[in-house]
Amino acid sequence: MIAFTKPLLLAGLCLYSYLTHTQPAALQETNVAAAANAPDDLFPGVQKPLPYNLPASGVVTASGADRLLFTATVKRGKLNGNWQSWYSNGTVCDSGRLVNNLPDGAWVFRNEEGEIMAIRHYNADKFLRITNEMQHYHPKRSFYYLAVLYQKNKRSALHYLDAAYSFPGSIFRKPVTSLQQLAESNTSPGNTYHPVFVQCVHEGLYMNYFSGGLVKDSGMYKDGMKSGKWIHRDTAQAGWFQGAYKHGLPVKEWKHFDQEGRLVEVLHYDQAGRLSWRKKINRQPSR
């Protein structure tokens, strides 16, 4: 039952994927499913509305059986302020802050055991700046690579601004029409996580974890795209890849390590993110 009352984290570096005969999947920046479902009707500078009915202002809460499902703050008909939802055992599911329906700052998602599974950092102001530049693009006054990409491939550029890019599993979820449905779905066993927001721009630390606390992938975002040093791990039992991104593409030298931390392969990418050569490290079997 929803009630309306009066108005009233973290860090790291990383990536993921296991070695194949072609370019490692983790280093292919475009998520095929997300790109295929990217919004092609977004008019730059205008946000997509949330699919929920919200009051003009107030603190919105909902209760399930003997528990609080979520709490959110609404101002001027949009989510503004802290968001938090809980599992039936009282563990926090997700938490973060929103500005006019856009996530801003740290966003943390946990499993029912309380283990952190994902950390994201967002910038609401930068979302507005980037979409404004998409709309009023001028090659001599361009500050954001996503605005440049938008002129070449709108669908590819827009999928970086979609919540399904930030949490790819959410594209397979059935749509919900209320905050209560969203919180109930996110906290039900077997469901993939879907954030309360529908658009975002990554800025800063990004991390995913395996259950048990091992980092799956970690690194930094700048202006909505992967940038600088990252690491990726495909499974908790596999080794990892380590290298750098520029404008969301792997560049220069990447190294592949086995689970014991031994170098097993060196890969090199050109400025277009294409794998140009690779060299396996032959090791003598230990006696």
HEC secondary structure over 47-88: CCCCCCCCCCCEEEEEEECCEEEEEEEEECCEEEEEEEEECC
Res 119: pLDDT: 98
- 133 in a structural domain: yes
The whole-number mean pLDDT for each consecutive block of 10 residues of the chain, a chain of 287 residues, reads: 39 36 51 45 68 93 86 96 96 98 98 98 97 92 94 94 92 84 93 95 98 96 98 93 96 95 95 94 69
* In contact, 63 and 70? CB cutoff 8 Å: no
- 287 in a structural domain: no
Cα separation, 86 vs 92, whole angstroms? 4
Question: What total of structural domains would you count in the chain?
Answer: 1
- 272 in a structural domain: yes
Q: What is the pTM of this model?
A: 0.84
Look at phi and psi of residue 105 and say left if phi exceeds 0, alpha if psi is from -120 to 50, else beta. left
Q: Which domain holds residue 130?
A: 2-280
- 224 in a structural domain: yes
Residues in the chain, total? 287
Q: Are strands 102-103 and 105-110 parallel, antiparallel or unpaired?
A: unpaired
- 286 in a structural domain: no
Task: Name the amino acid, one letter, at 277.
Answer: W
